Amino acid sequence: MIDQSIKTMKEKLASGDITVRQLVDASIERIEEVDGTVGAFLRLDKEGARLEADRLDMQLMDGKMTASAVLAGIPVGIKDNIVTKDITTTCASAILSNFDPIHNATVVNRLHEAGTVTIGKLNMDEFAMGSSNENSSFHVVKNPWNLAKVPGGSSGGSAAAVAAGEVPFTLGSDTGGSIRQPASYCGVTGLKPTYGRVSRFGLVAYASSLDQIGPITRSAEDSAYVMQAIAGHDAADSTSANVDVPDYTEKLYADVSGLKAAVPAEYLGDGIDAGVKSRVKEAIAILEEQGIAWEEVSLPYSKYALPTYYILASSEASANLARFDGIRYGVRHESDNLIDTYKKSRSEGFGEEVKRRIMLGTFALSTGYYDAYYKKAQKVRTLIKQDFDKIFERFDLIIGPTAPTTAFGLGEELDDPLTMYANDILTIPVNLAGVPAISVPCGFSDSLPVGLQIIGKHFDEATVLQVANAYQQQTDFHTAKPDL
């Protein structure tokens, strides 16, 4: 019941074949059945979800739930760095293990207005810092396709929950690929919207100029429904763009012939697994059959994206995480004086990866190094953005793999942070440029999912979703389910 498309579930709710309470109970039962193995959820709100389900069923009976409310009654899981009133929000960090927000994030409020039912909070890399979801302070998440593999990160719990059939969709956050890379590893659909398209109010910041909330779903069509609910200007978020939101479903099934796609040579060059290359080339051929012309291009500054990102993101993290001191909120570790209380709270509250990035960022921002590192990285970021701008003068889309490999083994790269960071090499440039991108399943290599990345122009999520949906109408990879 819970592993069907959002549209199918909505039709069954409208016809009376199922109730919201049955959907919610099915989701909770599935989580209780498999999540002890997968580890996608950190906490459930079973009582709250069932109360909300009963309320929505009453609305359905009274005719107050309209057919246009596509998400009404649909269960959702929320990444644990998106604040939820009355549900503890920890960012998968020990330092916030007792933090109970007094308000919802804007996206959570918008989903509630659309009638969704929040099931619980999803596991992640601590403070969204990681590419494997092994950095959680509570427990690791495992890939539903192979429990010996990572699900990707930092939204590994969000992707694994959808892949495992625990909830129909989730919200994640994407700073350098943290929606798209786990979507690729787990064989689901993950969309990073344009920076500013979706409100960041209530998202616990990692890197404020890069973070963006987005949906993880089974299909591009489901993503369109979720985007319709969460996109739009928010006065509470100073980085929110006051740009009109189109109807994302309007051209979802429109003809894609005549569109032009660029395929960067760098995205299919050295370092990309042979199986990944093969699946992506097959996907490009399917899009070509549908009338999308493509041409090989170059993004010359993309080779500098990795160091640029880690300098900028770590610098912003060192500033954003300064507020977690054990005094105002979060876990406090008492000491004899205030300074030692700060030190003890932060040293015992933060995990190793978070401390590593805070130290890196503090170094990059320090006197004598600011110009050499942070300022230079900002200049390179501009060059990377200009690379994308030039391509989009001639092309509608950029297409390539989402990740250079399929999911790697649990524990395989924990002691090698540089190799771990390289897993985001194909997704990071998109965040630096601020453009939208989606990862859709495009086949398997060694029995593990491969993701196709479709990148669009600023605020043109509609075309990205249109092309992703066109591809999924010709393939069935997005319907494949792991055997748990």
- The DSSP 8-state label assigned to residue 407 in this structure reads P
Q: Let me know if residue 205 belongs to a domain.
A: yes
Question: Can you give the pLDDT at residue 68?
Answer: 55
Measured at the alpha carbon of residue 196, what is the angle toward residues 194 and 198, in degrees to the nearest 5? 85
Q: Are 192 and 212 in contact (CB under 8 A)?
A: yes
Q: Which helix (H) or strand (E) holds 61?
A: helix 46-61
Cα four-point dihedral sign 51, 80, 206, 115: negative
* 94 domain residue, yes or no: yes
Cβ within 8 Å of residue 471, ≥6 positions away: 220, 283, 286, 287, 290, 440, 442, 452, 454
pLDDT for 38 equals 98
Whole-model pTM: value is 0.96
Residue 102 maps to a domain: yes
| pLDDT tens readout for residues 312-336 | 999 999 999 999 988 888 888 888 8
| Cβ partners under 8 Å of residue 302, min gap 6 | 264, 266, 267, 384, 387, 429
**Does residue 279 form part of some domain?**
no
Residue numbers of the chain with a pLDDT score lower than 70: 64-68
**Residue 318 in domain:** no
The 10s digit of each residue's pLDDT in 269-290 is 888 999 999 999 999 999 999 9
Give the contacts of 342 (CB within 8 A, at least 6 positions apart).
325, 326, 327
Residues acting as catalytic residues:
79, 154, 178
Asked whether residue 479 is assigned to any structural domain, the reply reads no
pLDDT of residue 455: 98
> By residue range, what is the domain housing residue 45?
6-252
Residue 330: its pLDDT value, please?
A: 82
For position 474, what pLDDT does the model report? Answer: 98
Helices 274-289 and 461-474: angle between axes, nearest 10 degrees: 100
* pLDDT of res. 94: 95
First vs last C-alpha separation in the chain: 16
Domain count, the chain: 1
Can you give 184-213 as a three-state secondary structure string? HHHCCEEEECCCCCECCCCECCCCCCCCEE
The CA distance from 179 to 224, in Å, is 16
The closest of 132, 39, 116 to 77, measured between CA atoms, is: 116
Identify the CATH number of the domain in which residue 145 sits: 3.90.1300.10
> Does some domain include residue 147?
yes
Question: What is the model's pLDDT at position 60?
Answer: 83
Q: Where are the beta strands (DSSP E) in 332-412?
A: 397-401
Question: Is 171 part of any domain?
Answer: yes
3-state secondary structure of 299: coil
- The one-letter amino acid code at 292 reads I
Cβ-count burial of 130 within 10 angstroms (0-12 exposed, 13-18 middle, 19+ buried)? Answer: buried
**How are strands ordered across the β-sheet holding 260-264?**
41-44, 117-122, 75-79, 169-174, 212-217, 189-192, 437-445, 448-455, 397-401, 260-264, 293-297
Q: At what angle do helices 220-230 and 6-15 cross, to 10 degrees?
A: 70
